[in-house]
Amino acid sequence: MKALVLGGGGREHALIRVLSRDPGVTSLHSAPGNPGISANAENHVINTLDGLAVTELAARIGAELVVIGPEAPLVEGVADTLRERGIPVFGPDRAAARLEGSKSYAKEVMEAAGVPTARSRACKTPGQVADALEAFGPPYVVKNDGLAAGKGVVVTEDRSAAEQHARECGRVVVEEYLDGPEVSLFVLCDGTNAVPMLPAQDFKRAYDGDEGPNTGGMGAYTPLPWAPPALVDGVMETMVRPTIREMAKRGNRYQGLLYVGLALTSAGPRVVEFNARFGDPEAQVVLDRLATPIGALLQASDTGGLGGIASLEWREGAAVTLVLAAENYPGDPVKGDPVTGLDAANAVEGAYVLHAGTAWSGVRDIKSNGGRVLNVVGTGDTLALARERAYDAIGRIELRGSFYRTDIAEKAAEGEG
Ligand code: AMP
Ligand code: GLY
């Protein structure tokens, strides 16, 4: 199988890495890709938001599978264009991707399907916002109704900060605060059938102890030793299958990856959000553990062939990923500085480096080119060993002003949630 992966972050590097391990995959391409990806795939420079440009590239290289990594091309309808041309694609059509692209649409679908989630109100005016904040009380949760790359949500005790975020966004969803640990569950969907992957946990705040601003994610690990054993089955029954059925009923068959962001509250699991693509950096650890060859699975999501797959196979042990962030992330990150020590990090047993926001500097050297620069993955028989290896490896990397969290998977490695 010839495959093309759209995107150029750590999630896409992880996808390329597992696709390259799949004996059924004969050639790999990416657009735009990144320097790390170029070890396993040919990178192409095209506008990945342009369905015609993507289709043209896919046709030229004879792609039998196009995997859409980020949400933006999905929301633009790139999957629709590929499907119209009969090119198998992993990712939902534009209409189905609204589960991620519009918070109010996602809430409407969840309500119709009876999916447990936070109570919420869609608001357009400051008066509606004020009423909703009053009704739900603190801590206040205000979400931009459109795509915001994981940064459109403000959770705060400060009412004026909540109101200001609403003013800056325009249309928002205000909702009740959900407490309890968060879990990310990825589910492969073919419009009718749904197959869950391993649950993972992400760390959204920038600094240790869950302090600082919300980010797209500073680290992740899988599996979750503290999670209730029935969690995944329960989420599939009460959340995923009803959502897939409701989407099909609306004529928006959901094909591709459904990312269920959960809060395990004292009243039971609740959906915090749906996303239409793999989470980043959770994908880096979940894909690492997948033993089932991935190419045919991703293709089956397009052809309706997931029905024959009851469950996936997983490698024993654990994976932890750490994000090396640039100075000033998530604000206005510093770019263009040399990144060194990658070979030393890759030499740590059980650890490897994925590129997220990097670029070539000359023909051999690497420079920073984004907020989240690298993902260092550590693996091992236990979470504690995976963690130790990840931290050993990241300590060998040099990037002026960069930082990472030192407490990723710490509690879980000690057996706590
Ligand atoms: P979202 O973009 O909806 O994923 O939200 C980003 C992050 O904001 C989530 O991962 C949570 O950490 C936090 N968040 C979102 N909604 C809520 C909520 N209702 N209660 C508490 N935290 C929330
Ligand atoms: N790690 C959170 C996300 O991908 O949205």
Indicate the top mutation candidate among 143, 182, 184, 201 to test ligand 2's pocket, ranked by most ligand atoms within 8 A of CB: 184
Query: Could you give the CA distance from residue 205 to residue 213 in angstroms, rounded to a whole number?
Result: 6
Residue closest via CA to ligand 1's atom 15 equals: 272
Report the nearest atom of ligand 2 relative to the CA of 275: 5
- Ligand 2 pocket, CB under 6 A: 150, 202, 216-217, 275, 279-280, 282
What pLDDT does 66 receive?
98
Coil/strand/helix, residue 230: coil
User: Do 4 and 29 touch, CB atoms closer than 8 A?
Assistant: yes
CA of 153 to the centre of ligand 1 (A): 7
At the top level of CATH, the class of 2-90 is: alpha beta
What pLDDT does 146 receive?
74
Q: pLDDT (tens digit, 0 to 9) for every residue of the chain, 417 residues total?
A: 999 999 999 999 999 999 999 999 999 999 999 999 999 999 999 999 999 999 999 999 999 999 999 999 999 999 999 999 999 999 999 999 999 989 889 999 999 999 999 999 999 999 999 999 999 999 999 999 876 655 588 899 999 999 999 999 989 999 999 999 999 999 999 999 999 999 999 999 999 999 998 898 999 999 999 999 999 999 999 999 999 999 999 999 999 999 999 999 999 999 999 999 999 999 999 999 999 999 999 999 999 999 988 789 999 999 999 999 999 999 999 999 999 999 999 999 999 999 999 999 999 999 999 999 999 999 999 999 999 999 999 999 999 999 999 999 999 999 876
Residue 326 DSSP code:
P
Indicate the top mutation candidate among 107, 133, 153, 218 to test ligand 1's pocket, ranked by most ligand atoms within 8 A of CB: 153
Query: What amino acid is encoded at 135 in this protein?
Result: A
Residue closest via CA to ligand 1's atom 7 equals: 153
Residue closest via CA to ligand 1's atom 11 equals: 272
Q: Which residues lie below 8 Å from residue 169, measured CB to CB, with a gap of 6+?
A: 142, 144, 145, 146, 152
What pLDDT does 417 receive?
65
CATH number for the region 180-303 comes to 3.30.470.20
pTM: 0.95
CA of 277 to the centre of ligand 2 (A): 9
**Integer CA distances (angstroms), 278 to 9, 106, 145, 202, 285, in order:** 12, 17, 20, 12, 11
Query: Could you give the CA distance from residue 215 to residue 72 in angstroms, rounded to a whole number?
Result: 18
CA of 365 to the centre of ligand 2 (A): 29
What pLDDT does 197 receive?
98
Q: Which residue has the tokens 């009053």?
A: 134
- Ligand 1 pocket, CB under 6 A: 118, 141, 143, 150, 153, 155, 175, 177-178, 182, 204, 214, 261, 272-273
107 backbone dihedrals φ, ψ, rounded to 5° = -65, -40
User: Do 53 and 81 touch, CB atoms closer than 8 A?
Assistant: no
What pLDDT does 288 receive?
98
Residue closest via CA to ligand 1's atom 8 equals: 153
CA of 210 to the centre of ligand 1 (A): 13
CATH number for the region 318-414 comes to 3.90.600.10
CA of 281 to the centre of ligand 2 (A): 7
Per-domain residue ranges of the chain: 2-90, 121-175, 180-303, 318-414
Q: Which residue blocks in 137-239 are alpha helix, DSSP H? A: 159-169, 231-235
Q: Write down the CATH superfamily of domain 121-175.
A: ATP-grasp fold, A domain (3.30.1490.20)
What pLDDT does 347 receive?
98
CA of 224 to the centre of ligand 1 (A): 20
Q: Which tokens sit at 371? A: 């907020």
